[in-house]
Amino acid sequence: MKLRNIFTIIVLNVFLLGMVSLFQEYTSLRSTLQQLNTTIDLSVDRAISNTMSSEEMFSDKFNTLVSSEASSYKDSSKYLYATLKVMRGGKWVTGNMYIMSMFYQQKGRFPNSQNEYATYSNGITTETIYEWLFGDIASDYNSSSLSWAFSNQNGTGVFSNASRQPTQNFIAFYANVGEAATSYATLQQKAGSTWVTSTDEISTLLQMGLKLDPLNSVTSTKTTKNFVSVAKNGYSDSVYYLTPYSLGVTYIPYEVLKPSVLSNIEQMIRFNKSKSFTTSLTDTASISMQDYASADGCVPLALYDLGSNVPKEHKTPDDTGSYVTNGNLKVTDILNDGKVEYDMSTLQVKVDYFFVDFYDQNNWQVVNYIKGSIPYETDLTQLPGKLAATDTTSNPDLTGMHIVAKVSVRVKIHIPYQSSVMQWFVDATSEAADEHYDIKMWNPDSNSIVQNSDGLWYEYSTYVAISR
């Protein structure tokens, strides 16, 4: 065989190997993207649901069962509220969703251990959480200005020294959109030293008792107990609190939503890594914990330096993908599910509110998205009209207006090449200081790859509303 032919065969084999590797990368990309969609979309949807529905913690039933044990972890009451779970130092850290969110807001991270969570949560009660989310718990039942309305002033006066002031975020929500959510209520209207009944259209959120409107003031000539007391008297001397969710008003506390999204995404990523199994439950549990911990950092490369049996590392700012906090404990900003790297430090969450008429045919798309399409109906634009026709409310002034929340989430991701050939090619040609060996972006204008691309932004949006 001539030398020329040998050289030709070598070149041809290299070319074919490269083409096969490239083909395999892009054939596996579909399943990778499906897993990515599932991880982000389900995590966000579950976070929204838990953030809104877990407001049951402020109900009379919850407080009757567990008193003010919102911070409890090692007893049965933990099953009555949503929890967040993260892995730090190879161990799971679990805690009340609200308390974990408070910790995150104050420190910019989750607790690094169960003990750190327990220390922080000590003394935090249901009242603490409510005041953090909505406003000061207080009651003005005993105000002399309201003697005309409440002859028996034996309400929850223990809170009478507080101000009933709403938090900055909640008053902003109320002023921008929350005020528009109305309902009819029977009020006490001042008539000399006594009162008469009056039926009025009010902003539904006034029932929370916070100082949101002049009607919540002790100087108002129209009032009701709910207007002037955040703390409500429940069964058997218990105390409960009204929330937007319990009043049928769409509100998603951003302070809770972002930590919930972060926790859910992390759990989904780590659970995707757990694929080991043995016949021993003990061994299975041990291997699973190792699998969960392997989600820290970047996807391991199938690339080695000559003479080394240790895979090369991704080129990240500190060469590890991890960032050291609290001594020797490493808390990574990058997690991987074996196929995709998620830069958790880049996660952004946004909530926008709109006031939407569900009976307006022009809004058929968002109405179908929230309510669900009519089975076997080909004309999806008909849903708003059918909802209006089936409305059984006795008050014609109450229309199909509802507050709709649009939740948008975006996070930076990297999808590394899985083939060692493609990884070698990137390693040989890239001069980037931050290199994740990921698939490059394509510029359709220049019909070429973006040489300096550094990851992709994954975005997901959904719509949520509480409606009758």
Query: What backbone torsions phi and psi does residue 136 show, to the nearest 5 degrees?
Result: -65, 135
pLDDT confidence bin for 17, thresholds 50/70/90: low
Q: Nearest-CA neighbor of 315 among 429, 412, 430?
A: 430
Contacts of 103-110 with C-beta under 8 Å, sequence gap 24+, read 104/258, 104/259, 104/262, 105/255, 105/259, 109/325, 109/331, 110/84, 110/86, 110/259, 110/262, 110/263
Q: State how far the Cα of 443 lies from the Cα of 56, in Å rounded to an integer.
A: 49
Strand bridging mode 341-357 / 334-336 = antiparallel
Of 29-38, 64-73, 187-196, 298-307, minimum mean pLDDT range: 64-73
Dist CA 337 CA 301 (whole Å): 14
How far apart are alpha carbons 375 and 294 in whole angstroms? 44
Residue 332 predicted with pLDDT over 80: no
Cα gap 134→226, rounded to integer Å = 15
Under 8 Å CB-to-CB from 151, ≥6 apart: which residues?
none
- C-alpha span between 468 and 456 (Å, rounded): 39
Residue-wise pLDDT for 303-320, tens only, equals 777 767 777 777 665 544
Tell me the pLDDT band of 169, cut-offs 50, 70 and 90. Answer: very high
Average pLDDT of span 162-185: 91
Across 150-301, where does the E strand assignment appear? 182-191, 194-203, 222-223, 232-233, 239-240
DSSP 91-154: EEEEEEHHHHHHHHHHHSS--SSHHHHHHHHTT--HHHHHHHHTB---B-TT-GGGTTT-SS--
Please state the φ and ψ torsions of residue 209, each to the nearest 5 degrees: 95, -5
pLDDT over 50 at 377, yes or no: yes
* pLDDT level of residue 196 (50, 70, 90 thresholds): very high
> Comparing C-alpha atoms, which of 311, 268, 271, 309 is closest to residue 288?
271
Whole-number average pLDDT of the chain: 80
**Phi, psi values for residue 339, rounded to 5°:** -125, -35
- Relative to beta strand 341-357, strand 401-414 is antiparallel
Between 46-50, 131-135, 377-381, 404-408, the lowest mean confidence (pLDDT) is in 377-381
367 within 8 A of 384, measured Cβ to Cβ? yes
Q: pLDDT for 109-159, tens place per residue?
A: 999 999 999 999 998 888 899 999 999 998 888 888 888 888 765 554 444
Per-residue pLDDT band for 396 (boundaries 50, 70, 90) equals low
Task: Examine the pLDDT at 22 and tell me if it is beyond 70.
Answer: no
Backbone angles phi, psi at 384, to 5 degrees: -55, -45
pLDDT at res. 1: 56
> CA-CA distance, 243 to 389, in Å (whole number)?
30
Which two structure tokens, joined as six digits, stand for 431?
């001069």
pLDDT in tens, 242-269: 999 889 899 999 999 999 999 999 999 9
